[in-house]
């Protein structure tokens, strides 16, 4: 059952291809970077595989970027893990989640906007980091 409004949501309801547009507002560098590409959510055993492929735009440079994560069942919910198996954060929608990475604190929120779109926002603060990363996903065509 897919539940919204701050409760655990089943990520399997989001399977398929999603186009994304990401902005990274870097307050230390004083600039905004953009990334666009696609994310494919697919079944991988009991888990959902998150495969991200895109292009980071840095002025005149376009750099390829990729990331693989998994969303796996845990107890009565789901948890996001990095490709190497390290924990990232609980998969919840509409609620803030946090991840401490060394001295950097990542505070994020997944906001579902219906079957055709959702947003993932991270506010990151640390000794050498101060940025907001917002990713808007729309159903791939």
List, for residues 82-102, the tens digit of each pLDDT value.
Answer: 999 999 999 999 999 999 999
131 in Cβ contact with 108 (< 8 Å): no
pLDDT of residue 1: 35
Q: What is the pLDDT of residues 21-73, one digit of tens each?
A: 999 999 999 999 999 999 999 999 999 999 999 999 998 999 999 999 999 99
20/34 Cα distance (integer angstroms) = 11
Question: Domains in the chain, ordered, with CATH?
Answer: 11-139 (2.40.128.20)
């Amino acid at each position: 059952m897919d539940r919204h409004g701050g409760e655990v949501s089943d990520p399997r309801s989001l399977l398929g291809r999603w186009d994304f547009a990401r902005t990274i507002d870097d307050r230390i560098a004083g600039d905004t970077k953009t990334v666009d590409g696609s994310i494919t959510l697919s079944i991988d055993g009991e888990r959902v595989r998150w495969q991200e492929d895109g292009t980071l735009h840095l002025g005149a440079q376009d750099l390829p970027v990729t990331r693989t994560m998994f969303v796996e069942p845990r107890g009565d919910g789901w948890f996001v893990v990095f490709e190497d198996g390290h924990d990232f954060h609980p998969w919840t929608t509409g609620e803030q989640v946090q991840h401490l990475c060394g001295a950097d604190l990542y505070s994020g929120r997944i906001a579902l906007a219906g079957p055709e779109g959702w947003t993932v926002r991270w506010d990151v603060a640390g000794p050498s980091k101060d940025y907001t990363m917002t990713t808007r996903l729309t159903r791939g065509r």
